[in-house]
Amino acid sequence: MAAIAAATSAASSTTQQEDEAEEFGPQMINKLEAQGIGGPDIKKLQEAGYHTVEAVAFAPKKHLLTIKGISEAKADKIIAEASKLVPMGFTTATEFHQKRSEIIQLTTGSRELDRLLAGGIETGSITEIFGEFRTGKTQICHTLAVTCQLPIDQNGGEGKCLYALLIVDSATSLYRTDYSGRGELAARQMHLARFLRMLLRLADEFGVAVVITNQVVAQVDGAALFSADPKKPIGGNIIAHASTTRLYLRKGRGETRICKIYDSPCLPETEAMFAISADGISDAKE
């Protein structure tokens, strides 16, 4: 009897966790069936890569029209019904503050770096890390891939790396080789903008922390003569507008590295020191 009671309790707990995940997480696209969208149309959406109501609500109408069997009238109805389940209107300051209070920060492994970031890497947004080679970009990504699986009370994401954290290392290296010269600059920037829009949609839809690394390029124009640091990140304004927080890394003494808030809507432009050790990212000893 005790075993049956324990099994029933475990099943009830699992069901409760699934209900809570469904309540606070993305809504499965099958919910549209209760809104009057037919099963065959939902199957077509799934085959086209739309598996959540949020994905449909955020999708441009012209993308839905490319799905075979989805007419303009059907697309209008699908978007209208999805918008009823996903709040798409204006948000009050109180509601926005409540959402901000629910954001989880992932620890970087360094207390000084976490203090600089007001808790760590923020979920639901894109964080860009750029700098020269050997400044710790990839090491930070490796450490985050571990810390995101820690419990929330240990400044983790309490989830698998694949779902709590999305890392792109590097976001621009292939663009530099596949698109060369000024003649392909416009095509490169357009493709980069679509790629970053997809990452931003994943951050909004699933609340994951998106971390991208970026390379730098040396300025060779006349302005470089009057600049203390003539290096700038690749991608121009496209990647600057897409990133919520931009971190600039540079080398220090030995294993010490320096991180500067290059751009952020809520953090001041300050610096912090950290170190690269055998355990990953840690506090600097100096």
Tens of pLDDT along 144-191?
999 888 877 766 666 655 568 999 998 888 888 888 878 888 898 999
Residue 1 has pLDDT above 50, yes or no: no
For the chain, how far is it from start to end, CA to CA, in angstroms?
A: 61
Per-residue pLDDT of 233-285, as tens digits, reads 988 899 999 999 999 999 998 889 999 999 999 899 999 999 998 888 998 88
Mean per-residue pLDDT over the chain, rounded: 84
- pLDDT score of 138: 94
Residue 220 has pLDDT above 80, yes or no: no
Class of domain 102-281: alpha beta
What's the CA gap between 76 and 141, in Å, rounded?
41
**Dihedral sign computed on CA atoms, order 260, 211, 203, 69:** positive
Confidence of residue 3 (pLDDT cuts 50, 70, 90): very low
Question: What predicted TM-score, i.e. pTM, was given to this entire model?
Answer: 0.78
Q: How is residue 54 written in tokens?
A: 């949020």
- pLDDT score of 227: 60
Give 28-83's CATH code, choosing from 1.20.140.10, 3.40.50.300, 1.10.150.20, 1.10.3720.10: 1.10.150.20
What's the CA gap between 65 and 75, in Å, rounded?
7
Per-residue pLDDT of 98-138, as tens digits, reads 888 878 889 999 999 999 999 999 998 999 999 999 999 99
Return the domain boundaries, the chain: 28-83, 102-281
- pLDDT score of 89: 76
Q: 86: helix, coil or strand? A: coil
User: Contact at 8 Å (CB) between 124 and 204?
Assistant: yes
